[in-house]
Amino acid sequence: MVKCPRCGYDNLSSSTYCVNCSYTLSGSPTAQKKGGWKMGTARKILLIVGIIVVALLLFSFIYNASQPTNEESLNVVVADGNVQEGSTHPYSVKVNYVGSWYSKSGDSNYPVEKSGYGPMSFSLDSASWDQVSVYVEKTDGSSEPLTVQLLRNGDVVGENSTSDSTNQVTISYRS
C-alpha cells in the first residue's frame, strides 16, 4: 500500500495516481522518470532547428555536386546514343564591312548588342541551341557591301548581305 502525501489515502502499491485526490504518487513509474533531456523547451526547439538547417545544407551540397558543369550541359546526345560535345559558345557572328555598324543578335530573350567599325567576329554566349536571330545595320550610310555570317560550332549556317546605304541584314536560324 502507498499512502498519498496530499490526502493520506491508502492506495494500492501499483497505483500511479491517488484514487481519492488524483495526486501523482512518488512510488509510481511516472514519478520515477530517469534520464531524459534536462533542458528547456527553447533549447529543444533550437536543437531541432539546427538539425534541420544542417540537413538542408547537406542536401544542397550534394545536389550542387551532382549537377553537370556548363560545358557538360551543352553536350548533345544524338539518336544513336553518341555524345557530341558542344562548346560553351556554339554560335558566333562574323560581320564583313568596312564602315561602322550595329548588331543585335542571339536569343530573343537575351540579345547580344554589339557595334563596331570594320570586319569583326563575336560569340553569342546567350544563344539557345534551337533558335538564333541576327540583325546588323550600317550606321554610316555607306554603299559598301555588308555581309553577315552566322556560324554554329565553326560551320556557316546562315549568310546574308546588302549593298544599300540604309539597309540592314537579318538572319533567322532554327535547328
Which H or E run includes 9? none
With bands split at pLDDT 50, 70 and 90, how would you rate the model's confidence at 7?
Answer: very high
The pLDDT tens digits of the residues spanning 116-164 come to 999 999 887 655 567 888 999 998 888 889 999 998 888 899 999 988 7
Provide the pLDDT for residue 127: 56
Other Cβ atoms less than 10 A from the Cβ of 25: the count is 21
Whole-prediction pTM: 0.49
Q: How far apart (Å, rounded) are the C-alpha atoms in residues 70 and 78?
A: 19
84 vs 124, more confident:
124
DSSP 121: E
With bands split at pLDDT 50, 70 and 90, how would you rate the model's confidence at 30?
Answer: low
